């Protein structure tokens, strides 16, 4: 009897050991698959640490807005962006926070020719957002590097480092930056968990959806546009769609005379 | 030496109590701002700097203007400034302190102030501004305190004081130049994007700061009987006049370039400030008051007979200070934001909370100045007896 029971105990122990090891193996395998091999990752990521070091200036993300396709009254890109990034809606101009918005021709292009412009062009509305300038005055003015230029051309924000001095807002010639004059969390009506909310007293702006790019997704505005008026891509890649469109269309940038080299282009 | 500030007559203590009350009101307003955010001010997305940054700009000028007595006294040995020089230096101390407090009051996250030093960014003008301001505060406070201490003991000041004073002279110019560079390097803010901004800052600072110094010395004479000398005041009045003339001249050159060239971006802010734009003209009366009182005060100061009369001197100096305070504060800072980068005209009115915080900081500065000058007067009067 005792020998049988001994055998059972031994078998149980072996089985336990087996299950333990298999589980560990599966866990390790899953971990490896999700992180180490980008093709098998659960969340699609481009993690340059794993394959190559980022080369500053190799990629320069840019956007082309075909304003001819942009429908009057449609605000789906604005809604998608502001929803995806927990942008508060205070419903007043003073406290307003906005990442992308629509405005008139003379507001978006105040230094472009304004005389005898066709009424159709004059009446259209135009998207305005951060230009992610190649020579960005805002990052130069920031005393803490809370706003900085990434290796891929995106002008990014570190909300935890920003001291709220608003020098970047004064330096930006496009009015693309917003300050959290009060706690934004009270004015986020349908919060998402995929992007952090901000605190009172810091500056924020469009991040060219760097949070979505790492997942292999297009920017929220680009994806949301029912007319496919927005093209997002690498300006440094001569074979990209955006470069092809830039070469075959007449386009313009906002206030090019200031030498900021905006990465957002417009077809009028 | 500081114990001398603890002995005073009835009116001294009433004055101190008044200042502490003002500071208290300011602090309670500030706690409201810390709690609810900068939304309690009149600033907004388009006019993102207001009263605080305006006061900062004006006060850095007042601080820099101490050089108007330090330079002639230490470099040219002009003995008539012997009694005024320490008043100028202590005014610089309290003005620098106030300008730093105004920067703090304007910050969304003042708890992260040290980030400027933790992540030094030489490409940002704010980094340099913090360096020159704190250096200037240190230099003036330490050198003038040591000088006064030596005077009290009737000994020569320590050897290290003189070099510190000499460094403070070019430093004063750099302080206000860097302040101008905070604004003058921004593309798209055309009122500020001008090479004469730094020279104009220096000129207006030397005019307003020196005029303020004359007023402070007259107040001291009135309240304590300590007289820095009529001769010193008259010489200062001449310096303030020339600086005021230079300031008006530079303003004139701005007008010429903007309106003769007719480039919209260059003239729009000036047009808004002095004539109104698109039917909006919030600051027009204020700007004309500033310009006319500036011109009138210079005319009074230019006439020797009027300049030598204390009554006219007080009127002219007050008008000059007020004129430059409006021009450099209200006009320059707010005008820079109008029209906005999207060509919109947004108006700004400071809120009561904002005004109370502003008065509170002025209260702190004036309290500091009162205490420092109380010590000065006590030491000087003791030595005279």
State the CATH number of the domain containing residue B328: 1.20.1630.10
State the pLDDT at residue A1.
44
Res A40 pLDDT > 80: no
Query: Does A108 map to a domain?
Result: yes
Report residue B74's pLDDT band, with 50, 70 and 90 as the boundaries. Answer: confident
Query: Does A130 map to a domain?
Result: yes
- d(CA A146, CA A205) in angstroms, rounded, equals 12
Q: A217 with A253, same domain?
A: yes
pLDDT, one tens digit per residue, over B177-188 is 999 999 999 998
* Cross-chain residue pair A173–B103, CB shorter than 8 Å: no
Query: Does A49 map to a domain?
Result: no
Q: What average pLDDT score do residues A157-170 get?
A: 96
Q: A253 with A139, same domain?
A: yes
* Minimum Cα–Cα distance from B111: chain A residue: A163
Among candidates B194, B185, B189, which has minimal Cα distance to B336? B189
- How many structural domains compose chain A? 2
pLDDT, one tens digit per residue, over B216-245 is 999 999 999 888 888 999 999 999 999 999
Q: A137 with A167, same domain?
A: yes
Query: Does A51 map to a domain?
Result: no
Report the CATH number that the domain containing residue A149 is assigned in CATH.
3.30.70.20
Q: Out of B36, B336, B344, whose CB is closest to A107?
A: B344
Q: What is the extent of the structural domain holding B184? A: 2-384
Q: A31 with A70, same domain?
A: no
Res A33 pLDDT > 60: no
Which residues of chain B make contact with A175, given a CB cutoff of 8 A?
A: 45-46, 340-342
Query: Does A225 map to a domain?
Result: yes
pLDDT, one tens digit per residue, over A187-228 is 999 999 999 999 999 999 999 999 999 999 999 999 999 999
Scanning A148-226, the segments in alpha helix (DSSP H) are: 167-171, 210-213, 220-224
* Cross-chain residue pair A143–B124, CB shorter than 8 Å: yes
* Cross-chain residue pair B38–A173, CB shorter than 8 Å: no
Task: Tell me the shortest Cα–Cα distance from B133 to chain A, in angstroms.
Answer: 15
* Cross-chain residue pair B116–A144, CB shorter than 8 Å: yes
Query: Does A54 map to a domain?
Result: no
Least confident among A19-23, B82-86, B91-95, B99-103:
A19-23
> What is the average pLDDT score of chain A?
88
Q: Best of A114, A131, A165, A185 to disrupt the B interface by mutation (most B CBs within 10 Å)?
A: A165
- How many structural domains compose chain B? 1
Res B348 pLDDT > 80: yes
Q: A7 with A117, same domain?
A: no
Place of tokens 């290796």: A151
Q: A247 with A206, same domain?
A: yes
Q: A203 with A113, same domain?
A: yes
Do the bridges between strand A61-66 and strand A264-267 make them parallel or antiparallel, or are there none, so unpaired?
Answer: parallel
pLDDT, one tens digit per residue, over B261-277 is 999 999 999 999 999 99
Q: What average pLDDT score do residues A135-162 get?
A: 95
Q: A132 with A182, same domain?
A: yes
Q: Out of A107, A143, A171, whose CB is closest to B343?
A: A107
Give the containing element (helix H, strand E) for A29: helix A2-31
* Cross-chain residue pair B37–A181, CB shorter than 8 Å: yes
Inter-CA distances, B369 with B11, B17, B20, B83, B138, Å: 16, 15, 13, 16, 15
State the pLDDT at residue A7.
54
Asked if the C-beta of B43 comes within 8 angstroms of chain A's C-beta atoms, the answer is yes
Q: A157 with A196, same domain?
A: yes
Q: What is the extent of the structural domain holding A11? A: 2-42
Query: Does A141 map to a domain?
Result: yes
């Amino acid at each position: 009897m005792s020998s049988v029971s001994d055998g059972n105990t031994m078998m149980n122990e072996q089985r336990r050991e087996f299950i333990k090891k298999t589980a560990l193996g599966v866990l390790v395998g899953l971990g490896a698959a999700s992180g180490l091999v980008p093709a098998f990752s659960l969340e699609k990521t481009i993690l340059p640490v794993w394959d190559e070091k980022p080369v500053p200036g190799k990629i320069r993300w840019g956007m082309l807005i075909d304003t001819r396709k942009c429908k009057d009254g449609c605000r789906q890109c604005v809604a998608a962006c502001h929803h995806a990034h927990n942008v508060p809606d205070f419903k007043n101009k003073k406290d307003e926070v906005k990442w992308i918005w629509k405005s008139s021709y003379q507001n978006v292009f105040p230094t472009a020719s304004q005389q005898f412009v066709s009424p159709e062009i004059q009446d259209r509305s135009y998207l305005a957002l951060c230009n992610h300038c190649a020579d960005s005055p805002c990052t130069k003015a920031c005393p803490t590097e809370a706003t900085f230029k990434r290796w891929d051309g995106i002008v990014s924000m570190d909300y935890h480092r920003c001291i709220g001095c608003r020098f970047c807002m004064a330096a930006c010639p496009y009015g693309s930056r917003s300050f959290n004059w009060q706690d934004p969390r009270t004015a986020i009506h349908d919060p998402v968990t995929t992007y952090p909310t901000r605190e009172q007293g810091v500056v924020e702006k469009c991040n060219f959806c760097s949070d979505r790019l790492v997942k292999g997704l297009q920017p929220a505005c680009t994806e949301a546009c029912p007319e496919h008026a927005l093209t997002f891509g690498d300006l440094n890649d001569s074979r990209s769609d955006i470069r092809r469109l830039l070469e075959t269309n007449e386009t313009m940038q906002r206030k090019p005379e200031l030498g900021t080299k905006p990465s957002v282009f417009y077809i009028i | 030496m500081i114990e001398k500030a603890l002995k005073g007559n009835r009116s001294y203590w009433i004055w101190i109590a008044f200042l502490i009350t003002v500071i208290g009101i300011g602090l309670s307003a500030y706690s409201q701002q810390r709690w609810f955010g900068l939304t309690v001010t009149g600033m907004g997305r388009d006019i993102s700097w207001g009263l605080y940054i305006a006061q900062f700009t004006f006060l850095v000028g007042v601080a820099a203007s101490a050089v108007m007595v330090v330079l002639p006294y230490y470099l040219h040995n002009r003995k008539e400034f012997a009694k005024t020089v320490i008043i100028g230096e202590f005014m610089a101390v309290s003005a620098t302190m106030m300008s730093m407090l105004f920067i703090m009051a304007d910050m969304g996250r003042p708890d992260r102030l040290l980030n400027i030093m933790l992540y030094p960014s030489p490409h940002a003008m704010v980094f340099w501004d913090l360096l020159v301001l704190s250096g200037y505060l240190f230099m003036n406070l330490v050198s003038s305190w040591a000088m006064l201490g030596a005077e009290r003991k009737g000994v020569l000041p320590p050897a290290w004081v003189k070099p510190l004073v000499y460094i403070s002279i070019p430093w004063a110019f750099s302080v206000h130049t860097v302040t101008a560079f905070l604004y003058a390097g921004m593309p798209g803010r055309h009122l500020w994007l001008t090479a004469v901004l730094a020279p104009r800052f220096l000129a207006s600072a030397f005019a307003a700061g020196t005029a303020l110094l004359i007023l402070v010395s007259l107040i001291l004479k009135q309240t304590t009987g300590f007289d820095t000398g009529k001769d010193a005041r008259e010489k200062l009045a001449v310096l303030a006049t020339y600086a005021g003339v230079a300031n008006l001249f530079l303003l004139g050159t701005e007008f010429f370039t903007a309106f003769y060239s007719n480039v919209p971006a260059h003239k729009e802010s000036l047009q808004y400030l002095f004539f109104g734009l698109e039917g909006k003209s919030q600051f027009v009366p204020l700007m004309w008051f500033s310009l006319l009182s500036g011109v009138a005060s210079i005319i009074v100061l230019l006439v020797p007979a009027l300049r030598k009369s204390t009554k006219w001197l007080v009127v002219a100096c007050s008008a000059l200070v007020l004129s430059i305070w409006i021009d450099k504060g209200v006009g320059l800072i707010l005008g820079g934001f109008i029209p906005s980068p999207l060509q919109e005209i947004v108006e700004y009115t400071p809120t009561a909370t904002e005004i109370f915080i502003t008065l509170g900081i002025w209260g702190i500065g004036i309290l500091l100045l009162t205490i420092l000058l109380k010590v000065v007067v006590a030491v000087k009067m003791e030595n005279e007896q």
